[in-house]
Structure 1
Amino acid sequence: MRAAQTQRRFRGRNRAPKWKKPDDGMVSVMVLPLAVTDPADLARLGKLFGAMWNIKRAVKRDARARVDAYWTAFHEREERGAKAVRQRLGLSREALERCAYKHLEDAGHLKHHVSKALAMHMADEVWNGVQRHLFADATGKRHGRPKTGRWYHFTRIPGRARSHTIERKWETFRLVGSLHGHLMAYTDSGQHTFAQPRRMRVPAAPSGVAPTGNATVSGKPGTRKATWWDHAGPLAVVFAGGPDGNRGDLVLPVRIPQQPGQWARVEHFLANPGRWHKVDLVRRRKASAPGGWVYEAHLLNLGPGYTAPAVRQMRQQAAEMDRIGGVDGNVSNVSIVSLPATLDPADGKPQSTEITLSPQERALLEQQAKKRRGRARALERSRRATNTAQYGLSKKQTRRAEDRAAKGLKVKAVAVPGGARATRVDGVPKQAFRRDRISYGYRELRARQAEAAASAAEHRRHRARPVARQIIAAHGPTLVVEDCDIRTWYRLWGKRLSQTTPGLLISTLERECQAAGGRLVRASTWSTALSQHCLCGERVKKTLRDREHKCTACGLTGKRDLVSAALAAFVRFTDVDDPKTAYLDTAASRHAQIVFAQGLEEALRESTAPSQITVRGAGHAAVPRQCETSAPRTAGRRSRATPDETRLVRDHAGKPGHRPGRNPQLTLW
């Protein structure tokens, strides 16, 4: 009789007190590019990401099946309770970790690339998404059903946090070396200017012995074998040993920023190793790199991020400003108007700012759009040329084939068919696009397209920060904005919104207000209707095409957006956290109109706070919009006007060859 097998034992709870983050709870991230040039290291990184993708996909599939079973068992949830059903189905962090362990043990090849700690932490990441789906947040909303995702969207391997209670304990990726050692290595001990070569050398593993730091019986410190903890040279990210000890450590040299003005930021993140918390391994698409990917290490630090002294001074000055202001977001501009909080002309005068696209940025956006259209056409030609059986001939190609047949010529094969895709009766393609054969050139071009899109998105985020700081410096950190869902605007003006990005600018402005000690408060449009009121309290109805405000009661004339922004400064709240409790204080707005008189009218006609910044390349500019040329846009066959267009003048009207409705150039007066 076989002896009963003992049940597998797992590590119990830690008896030591659990480590907690500092009281401030602030964390910051620094991106460290990895200079990986060795083909063996690149191949090992590719296999590591491939193995982690297999584990994540398997755990997500199991989690999705368990979630479906959980929602199906509604009778059992009512009888036994939701917690009992989740426990039976294994919907918990510990259950998903054991699921990852099982997949790692069943697939023997994964053990050569992935450690158990990496698999466990990946299961924790999957559980975080499942948890947001099972349990509603503070607003009562749940995230969607867990999805597996795609291989090209898998770009991050989360690392495990280092132990802050046990000295020298990193379970996955660790950052070794020191900033001083890195500086000495690439300045030849301080004799030359700091410069990192294109091909950085991989730091060698420490050898020999090192003192233990503990006194022996004779009173002399003992010795031990040197490890990576004794490495004080150039910075590097180390995946120590891994599951297959014969392969050695994976050592990835780090390239720190060396541009002028970056050293203060580098010292803030890297000078104090005690603040290093964990390292995540991230890959990013780059077609020109070997393998099509470049790798980065995202270092999570315990503490606030770096803030330049000029930015800190600007925020301090903005916090001392006693002004109230309003913000009006539009499709093609963002308008801001502010006044002294005391409504006393001796404390200041009204100021207004309009954030619009500069002419340089419009030209750059046109170039980028032209490149995107060219890449899209090239991708379509490549797909058609590789999958000719899935496409028919165009009318022109069919007519040519008929003419050749009528003349008795040989049938000519068409390399790139230009007709419609082969579909069923109901219009569904006979073969799914994901099953098409794609060439190597198609993959490379697609990678360049993704790289360009990511670069453009990063540029938009970077340019929004100086513009938001400029607004805070001119109008103070206490602002009010209408609570609009900008996502609905994309149904009509998606192309224009992708150029101006008002939602991104407003969200960045909200963070800057909080950093300066203020707040950007949101007010409901139903209870205020700022665009339909005047400062005198009268209701002035306007359509979307009416971009000028004209009040017959008080005679106020100005731009619609600036008037709405000025009214937002006089919005009051019963509960600041609830936008629905907002109401318009018409008595205060009428008082300000009387007190400031001509100064307020001038601020509502044009921008009075011009831009003080210069953004390299393309960037928003705060300038008076007088006879500016807007970017061309179309909406299918019939051009649809945007809310900020008052009079449309076609530049090509009356010229030979002009056809109305074919991408006209619009001029905004």
Structure 2
Amino acid sequence: MVLPLAVTDPADLARLGRLFGAMWTVKRAVQRDARARVDAYWAAYRERTEQGAKTVRQRLGLSREALERCAYKHLEDSGHLMHHASKALAMHMADEVWNGVQRHLFAGNSGRRHGRPRVGRWHDFTRIPGRARSHTAEKKWETFRLVGSLHGHALAYSGGGRHEVRQPRRMPKPSVPAGTVPTGKATASGRPGMRKATWWDHAGPLAVVFAGGPDSARGDLVLPVRVPQGPGQWARVEHFLADLGRWHKVDLVRRRKASAPGGWAYEAHLMVLGPGYASPAVRRMRRHAAELDRVGGVDGNVSNLSVVSFPAGLDPDQGAPMSSEIVLTGAEKARLEKAAMKRRGRARALDRSRRATNTAQYGLSKRQRFRAEQRAAKGLPEKTVTVPGGARAARTDRVPKQAYRHDRLSNVYQDMRARQSENAASAAEYRRHRARSVAREIIIAHGPVLVVEDCDIRTWYRLWGKRLSQTTPGMLISALDVECRAADGRIVRASTWSTALSQHCLCGERVHKTLRDREHRCAACGLAGKRDLVSAALAAFVRLTDTDDPTTAYLDTVMSRHAQIMYGEGLEEALRESTTPSPKPVRRSGRVAVPSQRETSAHRTAARRPRATPDETRSMRDHTGKPGHRPGRDPQLALW
């Protein structure tokens, strides 16, 4: 759970800035050492062959303990870093670096290794990992400790429970309880033992405390927590914060925010022992999806995502084939184009600001030189150019004479760059939210048992990078995998070499198609439909000898031909266009109701209409204007 920190004290902001600066220095030093050791490891080919890879790693210090000792050494040798960071934080940061090195040295379950470790940038350093809480030893301090209780927080900011939680803009910092508390043990005289109160006894408003650090002489670093108080948020807050025994780990995170003091907003990311929160509506969706006895196939493409599902028993009485196409509508394309235009405008503004501040590093443009020559020919004085538009001053090999990191940057430039980073993070979060919503809509219509081709989408970006950044098929499939597992299902990956779904027909014949051919036409059986929907339908009939090995996949043409005979025109209709009535469930009386099979058949046989986005759906609803009445949904209107 993300807990915003209401840090308004300039002294606390300064301490947080120094803490992040010190930890960034430690991480950069450990990353450089780890990268040098990895290069030496791969260069020692003969030694790895003769003595073994483990011996070489031990000699070079490629282990978690060795990187931790490396971090300690950098911290002690620097001197000034000991005033801001502690050895515990340096150890956790070295463990983070080792995780990246480990993914490079050793292959994962997929048999692939990550790339060579790189040294990150200052603006990409956003997280300081904390130490996990010990649930066996009592009162063992973590790196960042979440103190207080949700009950005490609610009482402090709700007037003793008389109204809803109302947290002020400037939240006061809680302090250690004054006085003494009983220890629970009796002394030799028989009297109850007493001790001085500490943060462990604080039961008031929630706060994140960093105590015992290098700046302990200045007091503990206390950061008040702002609990989400929007509509529908309290159930999620109680899931994470009601039980103090579930708190496990707190990481200190910062994110770019141009309007915040210093350009950063600070957050505490809380991890609990237990599952994440899912709203009642999402849980009902997943339960309904788990009860669907259907099997489907998914075909990911550059411009769309196609899904076709069948009843598991291939019985017409149990249901009909259903198909869905996830494409970008006109409204979404317009929104993406508007966002791209704004992004290009910000990039041009940043370039102008950099050129205006570093005029000596840029030459004049063709038009500027022409105007200068005209003024010189007329005998006019030379005019100073404030924003040169030419190329950057470079050597003969086109390497800039001065590195970009040495340029002077104005405050306006830094503010614009912060806003650009903030907008990019917001757009990425929107894409993730859209992927989760689409995945839930797919499983509620087609079930959680799906098959998808095992494609490396990274190769697609070399040809269609701009298009893929809009449709995000990889993100959709990853979100679909998560939702399938949450609904007690699974999405299985099948190799494209052993199945060749785009080159086959349901009857079993091979139909050759190029990438330009988007329609499927079989001369043997006469089946015609969209290429992507036919591939998704064939994916439903892929069988695997080992579900964890995509290379063991093969196409069961007998069952696909059987389904083609059993469903006939219904299947052909599903392969021509989307037949899903509305992937999003219909809301009735504040509850999520799943469309019945009768409603599904009525929607499928109704006249087709252009698909609309959720924003268009809300704008086309019939608003009655009655108090407390929720607008209805057009039964023939689909989301995609």
Structure 2 residue aligned with 1:193:
164
Matched, 1:508 2:479: yes
Structure 2 residue aligned with 1:10:
none
Structure 2 residue aligned with 1:120:
91
Structure 2 residue aligned with 1:417:
388
Distance (Å, rounded) in 2 between the aligned partners of 1:164 and 1:32? 22
Percent of residue pairs bearing the same amino acid type: 77
Structure 2 residue aligned with 1:135:
106
Amino acid at match of 2:108: D
| Match among 552, 563, 582 for residue 592 of structure 1 | 563
For the structure 1 residues 521 and 51, does the alpha-carbon distance in structure 2 shift closer, same or farther, using more than 3 Å as the test? same
Structure 2 residue aligned with 1:234:
205
- State the SS of the aligned residue for 1:137: coil
Aligned runs of 1:204-243 on 2, under 5 Å? 204-243=175-214
| Match among 535, 541, 544 for residue 512 of structure 2 | 541
Matched, 1:145 2:116: yes
Amino acid at match of 1:375: R
Distance (Å, rounded) in 2 between the aligned partners of 1:79 and 1:563? 53
Structure 2 residue aligned with 1:338:
309
Structure 1 residue aligned with 2:554:
583
Aligned runs of 1:651-666 on 2, under 5 Å? none
How much does 1:31 deviate?
A: 1.1
For structure 1, the residue ranges without an aligned partner over 5 or more in a row are 1-29, 616-621, 631-669
Q: Does the CA contact (< 8 Å) of 2:445 and 2:583 recur in 1?
A: no
How much does 1:441 deviate?
A: 1.3
Distance (Å, rounded) in 1 between the aligned partners of 2:62 and 2:208? 34
- State the SS of the aligned residue for 1:495: helix
- State the SS of the aligned residue for 2:460: helix
- State the SS of the aligned residue for 1:336: strand
Amino acid at match of 1:384: R
| Match among 404, 414, 429 for residue 375 of structure 2 | 404
Distance (Å, rounded) in 2 between the aligned partners of 1:554 and 1:451? 55
Matched, 1:64 2:54: no
How much does 1:513 deviate?
A: 1.0
Amino acid at match of 1:596: Y
How much does 1:262 deviate?
A: 1.3
Equivalent pairs counted in the alignment come to: 595
Structure 2 residue aligned with 1:361:
332
For the structure 1 residues 310 and 281, does the alpha-carbon distance in structure 2 shift closer, same or farther, using more than 3 Å as the test? same
Aligned runs of 1:52-451 on 2, under 5 Å? 52-78=23-49, 80-451=51-422
Q: Does the CA contact (< 8 Å) of 2:128 and 2:253 recur in 1?
A: yes
- State the SS of the aligned residue for 1:175: strand
Deviates further, 137-146 or 354-363: 137-146
Q: Does the CA contact (< 8 Å) of 1:241 and 1:250 recur in 2?
A: no
For the structure 1 residues 514 and 78, does the alpha-carbon distance in structure 2 shift closer, same or farther, using more than 3 Å as the test? same
Distance (Å, rounded) in 1 between the aligned partners of 2:608 and 2:105? 49
How much does 1:440 deviate?
A: 1.6
For the structure 1 residues 355 and 71, does the alpha-carbon distance in structure 2 shift closer, same or farther, using more than 3 Å as the test? closer
Structure 2 residue aligned with 1:15:
none
Q: Does the CA contact (< 8 Å) of 2:444 and 2:583 recur in 1?
A: no
Q: Does the CA contact (< 8 Å) of 1:327 and 1:481 recur in 2?
A: yes
Amino acid at match of 1:549: H
Distance (Å, rounded) in 2 between the aligned partners of 1:370 and 1:377? 11
How much does 1:72 deviate?
A: 3.8
For the structure 1 residues 75 and 575, does the alpha-carbon distance in structure 2 shift closer, same or farther, using more than 3 Å as the test? closer
For the structure 1 residues 228 and 610, does the alpha-carbon distance in structure 2 shift closer, same or farther, using more than 3 Å as the test? same
Distance (Å, rounded) in 2 between the aligned partners of 1:485 and 1:145? 19
Q: Does the CA contact (< 8 Å) of 1:34 and 1:253 recur in 2?
A: yes
- State the SS of the aligned residue for 1:199: coil
Residues 520-571 of structure 1: CA distance to partner in whole angstroms, max 9, x if unpaired?
1112222222222222222222222222222222222222211111111111
Distance (Å, rounded) in 2 between the aligned partners of 1:435 and 1:296? 31
Distance (Å, rounded) in 2 between the aligned partners of 1:78 and 1:572? 40
Distance (Å, rounded) in 2 between the aligned partners of 1:577 and 1:362? 37
- State the SS of the aligned residue for 2:467: helix
For the structure 1 residues 559 and 74, does the alpha-carbon distance in structure 2 shift closer, same or farther, using more than 3 Å as the test? closer
Q: Does the CA contact (< 8 Å) of 1:160 and 1:170 recur in 2?
A: no
How much does 1:235 deviate?
A: 0.3
- State the SS of the aligned residue for 1:117: helix
Residues 397-443 of structure 1: CA distance to partner in whole angstroms, max 9, x if unpaired?
11111111111111101111112222222222222222222222111
For the structure 1 residues 115 and 469, does the alpha-carbon distance in structure 2 shift closer, same or farther, using more than 3 Å as the test? same
Q: Does the CA contact (< 8 Å) of 2:499 and 2:553 recur in 1?
A: yes
Distance (Å, rounded) in 1 between the aligned partners of 2:208 and 2:476? 35
Structure 1 residue aligned with 2:433:
462
Which is richer in helix? 2
How much does 1:495 deviate?
A: 1.3
Deviates further, 501-510 or 383-392: 383-392
Residues 239-273 of structure 1: CA distance to partner in whole angstroms, max 9, x if unpaired?
01412332100000011111111111111111111
Aligned runs of 1:15-54 on 2, under 5 Å? 30-54=1-25
Amino acid at match of 2:184: G
Distance (Å, rounded) in 2 between the aligned partners of 1:57 and 1:625? 58
Q: Does the CA contact (< 8 Å) of 1:241 and 1:247 recur in 2?
A: no
For the structure 1 residues 196 and 598, does the alpha-carbon distance in structure 2 shift closer, same or farther, using more than 3 Å as the test? same
For the structure 1 residues 69 and 362, does the alpha-carbon distance in structure 2 shift closer, same or farther, using more than 3 Å as the test? closer
Residues 133-156 of structure 1: CA distance to partner in whole angstroms, max 9, x if unpaired?
333334443333332211111111
- State the SS of the aligned residue for 1:592: helix
Q: Does the CA contact (< 8 Å) of 1:279 and 1:299 recur in 2?
A: yes
Amino acid at match of 2:183: T
Structure 2 residue aligned with 1:619:
none
Distance (Å, rounded) in 2 between the aligned partners of 1:52 and 1:287? 22
Distance (Å, rounded) in 1 between the aligned partners of 2:321 and 2:44? 62
Structure 1 residue aligned with 2:445:
474
Q: Does the CA contact (< 8 Å) of 1:486 and 1:503 recur in 2?
A: yes
Residues 27-85 of structure 1: CA distance to partner in whole angstroms, max 9, x if unpaired?
xxx11111111111100000001111111222222333333334444444455544444
